[in-house]
Amino acid sequence: MAARDPKTTIRTGVVTNLGNITKDDGVALASVIHIWEGGPESLKHLFYSEDYDVVVSYGEPRSRSERSIQDKPLHYQMSYPVTVTTIDKPMIGVILCTAARMMYKVTYALRNAVATFAQSASGVSPAYTLKITSDDAASKHIGGLNIYETKHTLEYETDYA
């Protein structure tokens, strides 16, 4: 897993370890899609035409060097945004997926998933350490959808440039 670029390492780790997310009834499995940020898909298409309950998107990183010695960085801190998006999904008077509940379930599962692969295996190059540094939640009404989003910032540290 570490031989790939960090963004792919993070996506693969989350997809592999996210576990099963259930709908409001606690039994039926929610459908989750993992996509790269900036793709051609619209949220309305993903939630209604494709019938996904949760959209997890992986954004572009920001990086900074740490512990410079003679202008040569020894470590790189890279921040990767992972955004979880949900909506209320009603079906003839019954809500199948409440966005607030779904957001809590996915946030909890994401934290557990990241903890599972937070460090590279011993001897793997490049070695890395991963942690969630912030969670920023927001809700908005756009294009007829009540959208609930939480942007999780994952910090990936490595000595690999």
Query: Crossing angle, helix 6-17 and helix 99-116, to 10 degrees?
Result: 110
Residue with tokens 């790189």, as numbered in its chain = 76
Does the domain at 6-158 match CATH 3.30.2000? Answer given as yes
pLDDT of residue 35 exceeding 90: yes
Residues 115, 100: Cα–Cα separation, whole Å: 23
Is residue 160 scored above 60 in pLDDT? no
Q: What is the mean pLDDT of the chain?
A: 84
The whole-number pLDDT of residue 26 equals 86
Instruction: Please give the pLDDT value at position 1.
Output: 40
Residue 34: is its pLDDT beyond 90? Answer: yes
Mean pLDDT of 3-18: 86
CA 70/CA 152 separation, integer angstroms: 34
Domain map (residue ranges) of the chain: 6-158
